[in-house]
């Protein structure tokens, strides 16, 4: 099957800035421009890192529209459009298509715990409702369910299913998916800490949390890997590894929002049930940022 997307490199799972309880449009647009200027290869608004569960539908749609408008076609935008309600996911996906997104990111339905057949039918319904590529977001730690390689292979036969954001942290899965679907199935890691292994197994890039705060280093890692300079890639990975770890001591996106507040990029504001990180995590995040050379 011919490739439906050829997304490569470092894609940032963007945070959503808030101020006084509302979306901070100016901070968000500034982030988009900073990310692109730092070498980020693509943008992913309103995913988990973007606190999509606590955004209203109107807010969700606004963030997608702002991202596409500010990117101005300089990099692709994969808009978050997931829900555990198929009808709701279709509505968000249709909006993203109309707004001009290059693709949508659709998470496996959390909480409902559908069977493999239920997952297949969920994604098929979204596939049939839109005309842009769909990246499956497989994240068992958050959604509880794990899409099998067999189910993914069935979905790959549909016209818009293009690839996966794989947050299983399993290196075996990358190779199994390559064997089942081939090189054209677009495999993007959703686990910063395992990225070097993911790429070695044939991955195409990363939808990254760390790249919110270290976009240049994350894009330089991907560029080094793409040119076959694995020694340089490993050096950058070592530089980033404390961040990859420490940004997940507490639930994402609380640590990354604290990290970005240290750079003056946004207010460290989250929506309940997310809360700011504790002092031990602040110390660990600051230390990791020093290690990466982002702050003194």
pLDDT reading at 1 higher than 90: no
pLDDT per position as a tens digit, 241-274? 999 999 999 999 999 999 999 999 999 999 999 9
pLDDT reading at 277 higher than 90: yes
Spatial distance between the Cα atoms of 212 and 257, rounded to a whole number of angstroms: 9
Output the domain CATH number for residue 123.
3.20.20.70
90: in domain: yes
* Mean pLDDT of the chain, nearest integer: 97
3: in domain: no
Q: Mean of the pLDDT values across residues 22-34?
A: 98
37: in domain: yes
Which residues carry out catalysis?
137, 165
pLDDT per position as a tens digit, 140-157? 999 999 999 999 999 999
Spatial distance between the Cα atoms of 80 and 55, rounded to a whole number of angstroms: 12
pLDDT per position as a tens digit, 37-95? 999 999 999 999 999 999 999 999 999 999 999 999 999 999 999 999 999 999 999 99
- Whether residue 68 is annotated as binding a ligand: the answer is no
284: in domain: no
**Are the C-beta atoms of 198 and 171 separated by less than 8 Å?**
yes
253: in domain: no
Number of domains in the chain: 1
DSSP reduced 3-state for 102: coil
- Whether residue 49 is annotated as binding a ligand: the answer is yes
pLDDT reading at 2 higher than 70: no
96: in domain: yes
Full residue range of the structural domain in which residue 220 is found: 9-227
121: in domain: yes
238: in domain: no
Contacts of 136 (CB under 8 A, 6+ apart): 106, 108, 123, 147, 152, 155, 161, 163, 164, 165
């Amino acid at each position: 099957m011919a490739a439906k997307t050829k997304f490569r490199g470092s894609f940032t799972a963007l945070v959503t800035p808030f101020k006084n309880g509302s979306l901070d449009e100016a901070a968000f647009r500034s982030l988009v421009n900073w990310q692109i200027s730092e070498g980020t290869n693509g943008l992913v608004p309103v995913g988990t890192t973007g606190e999509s569960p606590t955004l209203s539908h109107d807010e969700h749609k606004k963030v997608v529209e702002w991202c596409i408008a500010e990117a101005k076609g300089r990099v692709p935008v994969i808009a978050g459009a997931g829900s555990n309600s198929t009808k709701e996911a279709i509505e968000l996906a249709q909006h993203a298509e109309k707004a001009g997104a290059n693709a949508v990111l659709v998470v496996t339905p959390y909480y409902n715990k559908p069977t493999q057949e239920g997952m297949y039918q969920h994604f098929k319904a979204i596939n049939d409702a839109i005309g842009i590529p769909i990246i499956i977001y497989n994240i068992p730690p958050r959604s509880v369910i794990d899409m099998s390689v067999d189910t993914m292979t069935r979905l790959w036969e549909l016209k818009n299913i293009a690839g996966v954001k794989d947050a299983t942290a399993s290196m075996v899965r990358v190779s199994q998916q390559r064997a089942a679907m081939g090189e054209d199935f677009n495999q993007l890691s959703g686990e910063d800490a395992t990225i070097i292994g993911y790429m070695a197994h044939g991955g195409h890039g990363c939808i990254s949390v760390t790249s919110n705060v270290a976009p240049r280093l994350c894009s330089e890692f991907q560029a080094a890997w793409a040119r076959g300079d694995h020694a340089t890639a490993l050096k950058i990975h070592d530089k980033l590894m404390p961040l990859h770890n420490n940004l997940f001591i507490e639930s994402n996106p609380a640590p990354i929002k604290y990290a970005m507040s240290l750079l003056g990029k946004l207010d460290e504001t989250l929506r309940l049930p997310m809360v700011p990180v504790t002092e031990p995590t602040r110390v660990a995040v600051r230390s990791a940022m020093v290690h990466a050379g982002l702050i003194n």
